[in-house]
Structure 1
């Protein structure tokens, strides 16, 4: 007889949004910023929707969301064992490198690939619910963050097994994770708007993400190439061109007990500022057209 609380709460929040006044459609930076602000203020809505997405995906499953952890853990173990033998790496150091890399990569890839279709997938809500456009972006980033939290169980297991020496440096994970979440917002917003207008962008991004996986030090390390010397060591520097490497490094290094060079932070902060600017520009120009494009 007891009804779950999620549905009544969600209905109440939706009703409150529907009774709100329509927002001005002027193409200014202020209205674009207001969309981001108002969308964040409607966090009861996107928090409930994001959690509902997780429950719906694993409905009637025995393990439920734990399948996320199992799948990532099996892949990390398989790739860690294989490439540690190929590169002759110490498994105690290499397996955490691969596992944490896959965990963070899952969040980044999810925001890019699903972000490209975030507005297309929410066509019904966009046309029927007069909420801020950013609500759908926050919902997606929240869902991907929940996936990441599930996968952090793998990191805790590795800590218990290998017992790496973690110092106060591990606290850098908190601001690094905040930066990753912020980048997830602008990536989903920017690619979501562009892909809604140009439908070929989404499959293109999907292919580029797969290519970027092999170009990013996840199942290999820059130290492995540098130790070989000569031209191989010089080519290892090419990894520095890949911005995703720096995003991974600011989170992964503290989690596996390594130091983070300051330039990684500077590059990530610069990319974040540029990305936010591009996303706000896209919102300023095209956000009101998304409802027509979907």
Structure 2
């Protein structure tokens, strides 16, 4: 945390480099999200036989949060590989590169959140006080994201086949997570999908408050359990192998 200036600068530089010499710059993130939500929202509202006014805001919130979660997991697979130049020259704390991934995706999240006020205004969605509960939900998500980035970063640096496996698992997780469909559409089996899917758990504690719903206590307990499991796995692994990361690059 004392090196916050380093990982903040790295994350900001990554975003700037990605959209360098672009006319719209970083707002291509916002534009791409708006086009996706508008197009898919209209089509899937007809497929699911739901009102556009209800479905599009639902999809917008869910997909924005999902994009952050999947972006962190996807970028975590190359967290240390991307830092090869730095790691081979300086003895920097390895957690800096995990924070770099989180900062980069937080910036993208901030750009995507810009589309929510227009969507809510167009479809008459009035936020309630429950939106404040998205703050502790996001805090828990960031803790989990940090641990996941360290875990995947170490494993994917050592085993270079893992990034492709994780990419395929993310595609599967997208369809198993209630992003474009509602949990009540599954009936009784929806409970198991919701509480055994870490992505669904964190999606619920962040997205539901934005839409004006108060998450259940069980949702926060489930998120805390996931964080506890990640901590129990990641911290001993990181403590044991962080010194070897530079030799795996």
Q: Answer whether TM exceeds 0.5 for this pair.
A: yes
* Residue 197 of structure 2 is aligned to residue 242 of structure 1: yes
- Contact 1:164–1:257 under 8 Å retained in 2: no
CA contact (8 A) 1:87 1:224 kept: no
Q: Does 1:206 align with 2:167?
A: yes
Partner-residue secondary structure (3-state), 1:128:
coil
The corresponding residue for 1:112 is 73
Contact residue 84 and residue 94 of structure 1 kept, 8 A: yes
Q: Deviations 1:159-212 (Å, cap 9, x if unpaired)?
A: 222232322111001111111111111111001001111111111000000110
Cα distance between partner residues in 2 of 1:72 and 1:169? 24
Confirm or deny that 1:48 pairs with 2:2: no
Could you tell me how far 1:261 is from its partner in structure 2? 1.4
Deviations 1:10-66 (A, max 9, x none): xxxxxxxxxxxxxxxxxxxxxxxxxxxxxx210011111111111111000000000
How far has the Cα of 1:256 moved from its partner?
1.1
TM-score by length of 2: 0.96
C-alpha deviation, 1:82, in angstroms: 1.4
Structure 2: runs of 5 or more not aligned: none
Asked if structure 2 preserves the Cα contact closer than 8 Å seen for 1:68 and 1:150, the reply is yes
Q: Which residue of 2 aligns with 1:30?
A: none
Partners of 2:155 and 2:142 lie apart in 1 by 20
Distance 1:176 1:200 in 2: 32
Q: Among residues 220, 224, 230, which one is paired with 1:265 in the alignment?
A: 220
Within-5 A mapping of 1:168-247: 168-225=129-186, 233-240=187-194, 241-247=196-202
RMSD: 1.2
* Secondary structure at 1:193 match in 2: helix
Q: How far 1:140 moved relative to its partner?
A: 0.9
Kindly name which structure, 1 or 2, has the bigger radius of gyration based on alpha carbons: 1
Q: Secondary structure at the match of 2:115?
A: helix
**Other-structure match for 2:240:** 285
Distance 2:208 2:188 in 1: 22
In 1, Cα distance between equivalents of 2:136 and 2:88 = 36
Contact 1:111/1:184, CA 8 A, preserved across alignment: yes
Partner residue of 1:99? 60
For the residues of structure 1 that align with 2:142 and 2:125, how far apart are their CA atoms?
26
Contact 2:45-2:51 at 8 Å conserved across structures:
yes
Q: Please, which runs of 5 or more residues in structure 1 have no aligned partner?
A: 1-39, 226-232
**Does the Cα contact within 8 Å between 1:117 and 1:195 map onto a contact in 2?**
yes
2:19 aligned partner? 58
Displacement of 1:242 in angstroms is 1.4
User: Using the alignment, how far apart are the partners of 1:260 and 1:193 within structure 2?
Assistant: 33
Q: Count how many residue pairs are aligned between Structure 1 and Structure 2.
A: 248
Q: Compute the displacement of 1:143 (Å).
A: 0.5
